[in-house]
Amino acid sequence: MHRVVFVIYDGFHPIDLVGPHEVFAYAGRLTGEYACQVLAPEAGPVKAHSGLPIHAAYGTGDLDPGGIDTLLICGGLGVDEARHDRALVDWIAAAGATARRVTSVCSGTFLLAAAGLLDGRRVTTHWGREAQLTREHPELTVDCDPIFIRDGRVWTSAGVTAGMDLALALVEEDHGRDVAHAVAQEMVMFLRRPGSQSQFSVPLWSEQPATDPIRAAVASVHADPGARHSIGDLAEAAGLSPRHLQRRFTGELGVPPASYVERVRIEAARRALAETGEPLEAMARRLGFGTAETLRRAFHRALSVSPSDYRDRFRAMNAMNAMNSTNAMNSTKEHA
């Protein structure tokens, strides 16, 4: 049984709770293996920053911080006050010390940082809080581009609906793609967001690394996809011999290192094609493909579409979305 404990407080963001809670709840109906609990500084009604009242069944004095599988800290405007609640922070620190996974949504990162659970880790948060988190916690590496980031057993996500993406990835880690896909279908959400959004820091097209050496190798690839990532380079990052790295990497992730590196570079190219007008030749050099022709071949091999066609599709989609937005605004004005 995966015991998932959500931490809320006055001024939390309701979607940070409700979205992930529903992902785990539906996965629990499919598998029978999730039990969700909601905790606040004190049991009883808790007011979200939108005014929505939520009942917390437990207070910090009512729930043993031990034995938790997944600890999830919700974000919201009230986090600035909540992180100075000593009893709440101490409970989070105790729970996080033994939980299998420690996670946060949005500005919930600040509570994990206050509890000392993020020291030295790479994390994300809501883009609007990036500068504050970087300034107040120089011991952290803050990256607000990914939807979520995994650093060991700690997972942090960007704002609001990103918590559902995070929860879905946690379900996939626990029960595999089929269960996660069934949850995504039921909730009418993407198993992975399309290329116009930031891509996942931990990709769902591979298995997840199970040990710290392979996590270190994977992290080095994601930190700079265009750098040299030979077997020797990855082995050095992992602290293993090249032969040992090759065997363990393939065993844990289900793909050999070279294939993994190429796929990460392709994902980076997808993002650049959707969001920028960078020339293919420059993109190919920056992302480690060398030449535009090598990029074209790798892209077509993975996605069965050329980079130029992929970019054109997103340009057309963005133009259509902009037109629909303008029409909606004009319609609203006409009816006002």
Residues 49 and 141 in one domain: yes
Could you read off the pLDDT of 171-193 as tens digits, one per residue?
988 898 888 888 888 776 755 55
The reply to whether 246 falls in a domain is yes
Strands 44-47 and 53-56: antiparallel
pTM summary value: 0.62
Domain hosting residue 253, numbered range = 212-314
Flag whether 115 is in a domain.
Answer: yes
Question: Distance (Å, rounded) from C-alpha 316 to C-alpha 273?
Answer: 13
DSSP string, 145-172: SSSEEEETTEEEE-STTHHHHHHHHHHH
Q: Do 216 and 181 have their domain in common?
A: no
Tell me: the pLDDT tens digits for 289-325? 999 999 999 998 887 888 988 888 766 555 444 444 4
Only one residue has tokens 């009418």, namely: 188
At 313, give phi and psi (nearest 5°).
-65, -40
Q: What is the CATH number of the domain that holds 248?
A: 1.10.10.60
What are phi and psi for residue 73, nearest 5 degrees? -100, 120
Residue 198 has pLDDT above 80, yes or no: no
Q: What is the DSSP letter of 193?
A: -
Q: How many domains, in total, are found in the chain?
A: 2
Task: Using alpha carbons, select from 314, 324, 320, 317 the residue that is nearest to residue 275.
Answer: 314
Residue pair 107/129 in contact (Cβ under 8 Å)? The answer is yes
CB atoms within 10 A of CB 323: 10
In the three-class reduction of DSSP (H, G, I as helix; E, B as strand; rest coil), residue 98 is classed as helix
